[in-house]
A and B are shown apart, each in its own frame.
Chain A
Amino acid sequence: MSYYFTILSPTDTPIFNIAFGTSKGGGDGIARFRFPDTAQYMNQFIIHSSLDILEEAQWTNGGMYLKHIDTYPPASAYISAFLTPSGTRFLLLHQPPQLPTSGSSSTLGASSLLASGTTRSSSSVAANPTSAQTEEAVRQFMNEVYESFVKTAMSPFYRQGMEIRSPVFRGKITAAGKKWL
């Protein structure tokens, strides 16, 4: 499983981005997106196209963790979202590894195939983007990010929408990814 995580300000300014791969089931933590040449562009595009759905979910679900909100079948990309009460959005794109038998257009088919263990990943978190275990793991990841984010935002010099450049923050997010995803 490969992940692209981004934090958007309430006015959609990207303030933090990170790509990583799963560390579960023997994963090495390195992202391997299906279209490596265009991954950065594609991931941002996919995340952005989920924002309308996010805004709808925002006013029907009062939780902070909104779970899996969108799927982009052409890239088998799944989007999970977390919304801070002050309107900052955490978006996680997850993409299961390429199947040996590619061509399955149905996301349902793709995830069930993956879950049956045809790939090297054995953990359910790494294999199935919409399972209950995955939802729970992503929730834990998001909560840890939230904690670090609140610490950033509490500083009197931090203003909403400012890019988060602290290597300590990046380290905390990397560690949370390793721990839960």
Chain B
Amino acid sequence: MSATKASRIGEETRIDKVNAELVTLTYGTIVAQLCQDYDSDYQEVNKQLEKMGYNIGMRLIEDFLAKSGVGRCANFRETADMIAKVGFKIFLNVAPTVTNWTSDNNQFSLIFDENPLADFVELPDDGRAQDELWFSNILCGVLRGSLEMVQMQIEAHFVSDVLRGDDTTEMRVSLIRYIEDEMPPEED
């Protein structure tokens, strides 16, 4: 499927809406709570956020397939467009840019111009949060969880975030393997 077609699906998919700020503020509440519970151990907070995202992703994919009506992607490049232009569009109403492909087409970056999760947010001024916390790390987990449900094992992590003082917010996504490739061989 072409990238333009993917954008059209993303634009046209009808979904129930809520006030964006309710989502933003609730996510902020979650992250702040984790920082408090883990005593500002930001590595651990990142891990917990990723885990929450993974749980969400596993359930969200069904919803995604039902809402978008899209079928199987032919390759990882198509998957990337689907994530950026349909997935993010439906669930976060943003369409990050897909870029920085590796030559083997197994790794790309998502650049977020907008990130509703981070609206209103200023990281704690404790000399550590800006070096250690990935505020929106839940999104990495969402990608990992949902793609695993469609037989793709991936790894995702943020490499920069405007909340840390970087100029862009960028997530790096790598395909590790197609899970069906590793299915045990059929018995003779």
* Residues of A bordering B, CB below 8 Å: 151-152, 154-158, 165-166
Which residues of B are at the interface with A, using a C-beta cutoff of 8 A?
Answer: 25, 28-29, 31-32, 35, 120-125, 129
CA gap between A136 and B184 in the complex, in Å: 78
Contacts of B125 in A (CB 8 A): 165-166
The minimal Cβ–Cβ distance linking A6 to chain B, given in whole angstroms, is 20
Distance, CA A168 to CA B133, complexed state (A): 22
CB of A128 to closest CB in B, whole Å: 39
Residues of chain B within 8 A (CB-CB) of A154 are: 120
State A165–B126 Cα separation when bound (angstroms): 11
Q: Give complex CA distance A154, B24 in Å.
A: 11
Q: Which residues of A contact B121 (CB under 8 A)?
A: 155-157
Contact A157 B120 (CB under 8 A): no
Complex: A103 Cα to B127 Cα, angstroms: 51
A-B CB contact pairs (8 Å), 12 listed = A151-B120, A152-B122, A155-B28, A155-B121, A156-B32, A156-B121, A157-B121, A157-B122, A157-B123, A157-B124, A157-B129, A166-B122
- On chain B, the residues within 8 Å of A152 by CB distance are 122
| A100-B89 Cα distance, complex, nearest whole Å | 68
Task: Report A-chain residues with C-beta under 8 Å of the C-beta of B29.
Answer: 156
Cβ contact within 8 Å between A155 and B35: no
Q: Please, which residues of chain A bring their CB within 8 A of the CB of B129?
A: 157
Of the candidates A154, A158, A166, the one having the most CB atoms from chain B within 10 angstroms of its own CB is: A154
B25 contact from A156, A165, A166, Cβ within 8 A: A156
Cβ of A165: which chain B residues have Cβ within 8 Å of it? Answer: 125
Closest to B120 in A: A154
Whole-angstrom distance from the CB of A64 to the nearest CB of chain B?
Answer: 21
Q: In the complex the two chains form, what is the Cα distance from A166 to B123 in whole Å?
A: 11
Smallest CB separation, B34 vs chain A (Å): 11
Q: How far is the CA of A154 from the CA of B119 in the complex (A)?
A: 9
B49 vs chain A, min Cβ distance (A): 13
Not counting A156-B121, A157-B122, a sample of 17 additional A-B residue pairs whose C-beta atoms are within 8 angstroms of each other reads A152-B122, A154-B120, A155-B28, A155-B120, A156-B28, A156-B29, A156-B31, A156-B32, A156-B120, A157-B32, A157-B35, A157-B121, A157-B123, A157-B129, A158-B122, A166-B122, A166-B125
The docked-state distance in angstroms from the alpha carbon of A57 to that of B19 is 36
Residues from chain B with Cβ under 8 Å of A155 in the complex: 28, 120-122
Could you tell me the distance in whole angstroms from the C-beta of A168 to the nearest C-beta in chain B? 9
Min CB–CB distance A48 → chain B (angstroms): 27
CB-CB < 8 A to A166: which residues of B? 122, 125
Q: Which residues of A contact B35 (CB under 8 A)?
A: 157
Residues of A within 8 A of B122 (CB): 152, 155, 157-158, 166
Q: State how many angstroms separate the Cβ of A150 from the closest Cβ of chain B.
A: 10
What chain B residues lie within 8 Å of A151 (beta carbons)? 120
Question: Shortest 10 CB-CB distances between A and B: which pairs?
Answer: A156-B28, A154-B120, A156-B32, A155-B122, A157-B124, A155-B121, A157-B32, A155-B120, A156-B29, A165-B125
A157 to B33, CA, bound (A): 9
